[in-house]
Structure 1
Amino acid sequence: MRCILSFLVFAQLCACTANLPAIDDTIGAAARNADYPNLQPLPDLIARSSAGSTIEVETEALAARVARLKARANALKGRTIIDGATRLRLLNAVKDRPA
């Protein structure tokens, strides 16, 4: 039974690969004929990476934005954005609406 199950799984996997697109058709002639990129010296890359990580800068900026948004949310707590006359008009409109 285990052998039959293994064969069926293998047959299903083989059937999945029957219609793969041709990879050669997806690469353009300009990309094929392009030169290889220049290699960079490792010490220069290490110096640039330790100079100031963009991840740290982005994290600090995001934390500052979160703090500003939380401060705005706390300032808006308990405040109403609709004046009394508009609120009364909306409530009456909901009451008068047919069920």
Structure 2
Amino acid sequence: MRCTLLLAACLALSSACTANLPAIDDTISEGAQRADYPELEPLPNLLARSEAGSSIEVQTEALQARVSRLKARARALKGRTIIDGATRLRLLEATKGKPA
């Protein structure tokens, strides 16, 4: 009796969980459905690529180097004025009569 109740509960639960799933066939394009399966690569090739360093590690190192360069540029530009003296005077003269 318990086994029957357990089986019925499992069946009811599984049917309730799968009732609202979208149709998978509608989400795959025709081109993807007609495409060939990808080629399998031999395991030694995959292992050699994994030992050489992943592309994520290479990209992370490149990004860290770029961040360092940008921070160095920011430190070099800190405190420097962008506007030359003549332009600064002209801007000050133009804003003297205007309210802030």
TM-score (norm 1): 0.61
Cα distance in 1, alignment partners of residues 28 and 71 from structure 2: 48
Tell me the matched-pair count.
Answer: 82
Check if 1:24 corresponds to 2:47.
no
- Secondary structure of the equivalent of 2:91? helix
Does residue 1:71 correspond to 2:72, yes or no?
Answer: yes
1:95 Cα offset (Å): 2.4
User: Identity of counterpart residues, as a percentage?
Assistant: 75
Query: Which segments of 5 or more consecutive residues in structure 2 lack a partner in the other structure?
Result: 1-19
What residue in structure 2 maps to residue 91 of structure 1? 92
Q: Which amino acid aligns with 1:80?
A: T
Give the Å deviation of 1:21. 7.1
Alpha-carbon shift at residue 97 of structure 1 (Å)? 2.6
Say if 1:81 and 1:29 are closer, same or farther in 2 by CA, change over 3 A: closer
Structure 1 equivalent of residue 51 of structure 2: 50
| TM-score (normalizing by structure 2) | 0.60
| Cα distance, 1:89–1:30 mapped onto 2, change above 3 Å | same
**RMSD over aligned Cα atoms:** 2.6
Amino acid at match of 2:66: R
Paired amino acid for 2:70: L
Q: Unpaired segments of 5 or more residues in structure 1? A: 1-16
**In structure 1, C-alpha distance between the alignment counterparts of 2:32 and 2:57, rounded to whole Å:** 35
